[in-house]
Each structure stands twice: as C-alpha cells, then as structure tokens.
Amino acid sequence: MSITTPYRAIFCDLLSDRTIDILPLRDVTVDDYIGKAGSLSGTIPVPDTAMAARVRRIEEGRTSVYLQRGNDLWWGGIVWTATLQSDDQGVLSLGIQAATFESYAGRRRIRDDLNFQNTDQLVVARKLWEHLQTGKFDDETGTTVPGGNIGVSYGYETSDPPQPRSVAYRDGDETVYLEALDALAAQENGFEHHIGVYRDPVSGARVRRLRLGSPKIGIGSTDLVMDRPGSVLSYSFPRDATRGGTTARARGATDNTSQAVESRPLYADADIAVGRTLIAAGYPRIDLTSDHNDVASTTVLKSLANAELAEGAGAVVIPEISVRLDDLVPPALLGRTVRLRVTDEWWTEGLDARYRIIGVKVSPAQRGRPDTAELYLEEA
C-alpha cells in the first residue's frame, strides 16, 4: 500500500498514545473479531537511510499502530513482532505483525488475590481490566502499579437481566487475564467483549474503548442493507457438522488432594448438556467436550457445557460475504446487523435474512482491485 491510498498507518507510543510517525505500509492484511484478538500484518519499505532512521523508532511491545481510512480509524493494536529483511537486490523492508489491544490482556497475569461474589458478570469483566491496568479498582486508594495502563477506557454496562457470578483468582496461579475474561464470558447467558478504536467527535483524540454486551454486542439502530447482485461481491455458507454436537460435557480442575486416589478431572453426569430437541428431530448423538483446568465448581461446569452446546448445536454455520468498501460502509462494523438480500440460481425465490457481523477482514485496494471487506456473520 503506497502513501497515496486512502489508508494511513499511524504508529504511536503504546502507553502515552503519542504519535511517533505515519509510515507507508504495503501488502496489508487486517482483521478484527468479537471475542478474540484481531491481527494486522504488513511491510514498511526502507528505500534509504532517512527512512531507516524513522522506521527504527518502531519498538516491538511498546508501539501501537492504527489503520486509518479517510478520517476514520478502522483498526488499532500493538506491534508485537518485526522482521528486518533484505532481498537479493539489497532492497530493505521491515515486516510487522500486530494484534488488537485485547492481546495485551493475553500477555498479563493475575498476581493478586481477587474475589468477586454475586457480582454481575459485566462488572467483573470491567474490574478485571481495571486491575490489569492499575493494579487496583476505582474505589480503592493507594499507589497505582506503573506500566500497566494502556489507555483502555470503559463504560457502565450491566447484564439485563443481571447475571451474578462468583469467581476468585489466587496470586501464584498465574491466571492470564484474557483467559479469565474468556472463561467468564463462555458461561451460559454469558457476554461478549471487544476493544474498539475511534476518534472522539469533539476533541479528535484517539479512543480505545472496551465494549461489553450481554448476551451480545449490538450497535447501530438500523440494518445495513447489502444485495447480490449489488454491493455483495461473493458469499459462502459453510455448514460444518464436525464442529457441532448434540451433547456437551465440561471437565474441570484435577483433584490432587490425595495421593492414594487416582487424580481425575472434576465432572459429573449431571454436567452433560443434551440437545433433546435435536435428538427428537432425528439428529444422532454427537459428543462435545472441553477442559477448564481452573474451574472447581460443578455449577460453573454445567453452565459452560450448556453454553458450548448452544454455540455448537447441530451443524455450525458461519456465513461469509465479501463486499465493496465505499462511503456507505461505516468503520464500526462489529456488532452491526446486516439485511442480506440475494437472488441467484440457489436462492431463486430470493434470500432476505438478517445477520450480525462478528468478524471483519479488510483488504486494501491493490493493482486496480477496489477496497473490499470480508464479513463473517451469524444469524441475528
């Protein structure tokens, strides 16, 4: 991608968000998802010593990067790896790999005793991020632990209806913050989390915002209407029965309290979730299982099993559409609802259905190809 494209790669100091430089980025691939970290990869050309001096200011692990299209931020994250390369002609370039700001929680571990009793799950999620960034909570006094605040802000969302959780984390268990968040979100009637980036409409400052939604994240009051023929360039509807099932069991922590008894993970017959409606309709029994080594509660294991069965009941379907990016497509796509209308040989009577966007992969224009985005969908 050359500097003349509508995209700009803005490199900043991770902790202060101070702009370091705006650099050209070629061969860009970028994606983002609800509930997991997205990624960015690209190559910075280094044609001379002046550019080399600028590129040297990028430091892995402490530099953030934003991808800006026009006046809007489409992606933001942390540069984790960089590779200096020289080809057989002596041409230099720096390849970078970055991940969205959620990835920071995957590099931090809980090193404190935290205990939440009958606390709404979204409050727990928010307080985990507060503790990750400051070493304390907003209602506590004391010295903030330095070096952890990457500037992620939060709202005041709560579950509706409330979903109280009782969870505890112990110093010394080295629990990864992101794994704690994911385990909390994975329970029955759980939630979704995502860190979005945008510019403050008043100050113009860049914002990193933790968004929480129970049970789902949803934005926008109107549907995005996408048609084929029209803005939809291609689509696919994969149906995968190998990822689905009709029963689920979640296994927990291993009991190592007695050397005289064989160590086995916690589970119980009551913790098997069964899709009785699917079986009654003629589906065979297909078993799903998962391990949760930090869970020592059969109640939580039952909740996890029910949630896993709900996500993978029968065949898993994740529709995907490729669309042309234009001024009608907003930058904040995750959580938006799409009204997809297709008329072709398969949908002879026309498909007219609503889906929610749960993943986005952007491909900047190259060699005459327009800007496109692949949107990953689930039924709304």
> What CATH number has the domain bearing residue 327?
2.30.300.10
Residue 2 within any structural domain of the chain: no
Do 191 and 311 fall within a single domain?
no
Same-domain check for residues 170 and 264: no
**Per-position DSSP letters for 215-253, written without gaps between them:** S-----SSPEEEEETTTEEEEE--EEGGG-BSEEEEE--
Q: Are 340 and 353 in contact (CB under 8 A)?
A: yes
Residue 269 gets which letter from DSSP? G
Assess if residue 175 is contained within a domain.
Answer: yes
Q: What are phi and psi of 317, to 5 degrees?
A: -125, 120
- Domains identified in the chain, total number: 4
Closest CA to 107 of 96, 116, 99, 117: 99
| Domain at 168, CATH number | 3.55.50
Point out the residues of the chain with pLDDT beneath 50: 1-4
Is 218 inside any structural domain? no
Q: What integer pLDDT is reported at residue 4 of this predicted model?
A: 43
Which of 58, 73, 100 is the endpoint of a domain? 100
Q: How many other CB atoms are there within 10 angstroms of residue 347's CB atom?
A: 13
> Do 309 and 322 fall into the same domain?
no
Same domain? For 199 and 129 the reply is yes
Task: Classify 255 as helix, strand or coil.
Answer: coil
**Whether 228 and 324 share a structural domain:** yes
Residues 66, 157: one domain?
no
3-state SS assignment for residue 298: helix
In a domain, 1, yes or no: no
pLDDT number for residue 274: 87
Q: Are residues 255 and 361 in the same domain?
A: no
Q: Is residue 187 part of a domain?
A: yes
The C-alpha atoms of residue 359 and residue 304 are separated, in whole angstroms, by 23
Token code pair at residue 109: 């571990």
278 part of a folded domain: yes
Same domain as 167, residue 130: yes
Q: Which residues contact 371 (CB under 8 A, 6 or more apart)?
A: 6, 69, 324, 325, 326, 362, 363, 364, 365
291 in the same domain as 230: no
**What pLDDT digit, counting tens, does each position of 47-80 carry?**
999 999 999 999 999 999 999 988 899 999 999 9
At residue 59, the pLDDT reads: 97
| One domain, residues 232 and 248 | no
Question: How much is the pLDDT for 254?
Answer: 81
219 within a domain of the structure (yes/no): no
Predicted TM-score (pTM) of this structure = 0.88
Structural domain that includes position 196: 109-213
**233 and 355 within one domain:** yes
Half-sphere exposure of 304 (CA within 13 A, CB side): 23
Asked if residue 60 belongs to a domain, the reply is: yes
Q: Note whether 335 and 219 are within 8 A (CB).
A: yes
284 and 323, same domain (yes or no):
no
